[in-house]
Amino acid sequence: MTDTFPMDRRLLLGRIALLVGASIVPAEVFGAALKGGTALSAANSSVLEAVCDTLVPATDTPGAVGAGVPALFHGLLQNWASAESREALIGAIEAIDRGARQAGGKGFAALSPDERTAFLKTYDIAALKPVPSKQKLTGLAALKALPSVVDPSYARLKDLIVSLYYGSEVGLTQELVYEHVPGPWEPSIKITPDTRPYGSPGLL
């Protein structure tokens, strides 16, 4: 556990917009359920939910599934993602399922929680192995660029799931400690093993 988890919601929304290829993602999307249709098949939806549950499992606080990340993901994919990003994210979901079938003969959603964790740890290491970037980026473009890795689509999928979790009410107020700004000034806060990282939505 880290001592702090800086969270500026404006930057977080910008990051999510970048990941889905949208020019803007309104704050209201976090409070709105997906209405009508979905860009994912039933099989891919099951894999997505299993991946969310594996990346951010429920502990003493709700995990990604409990925070509603799959529904938020559906909404962004259906209503905000560019065609290119939609294809990349769906492809990443299908690649995880395909890898699980090749490794053990069962789809990712059919694996037990322990099997999912073991598989995804290995898959994650291979997919996120750094590779030399083919582009020379500077300035703002370099800051916005996604990491140069073996499987950038998986990196985008993982980043989006985690960002949606920490942008949710559950992630920000139960996993992290929400500190309303402006709030009381506390010059010294005792850190214990139970102390949670702090998160702040920043200025909206």
203: pLDDT confidence band, cut at 50, 70 and 90? very low
* pLDDT value for 50: 98
Tens digit of pLDDT for each residue in 114-156? 999 999 999 999 999 998 877 776 665 555 566 688 999 999 9
Output the six-digit token pair for 157.
Answer: 């999928």
| Comparison of pLDDT for 179 and 204, the residue scoring more | 179
pTM for this model (two decimals): 0.72
pLDDT > 90: what percent of the chain?
39
Alpha helices in 56-180 (DSSP H): 69-79, 83-104, 113-127, 139-144, 152-167, 169-170
* pLDDT value for 144: 55
CA–CA separation, 159 and 137 (whole Å): 20
* pLDDT value for 99: 97
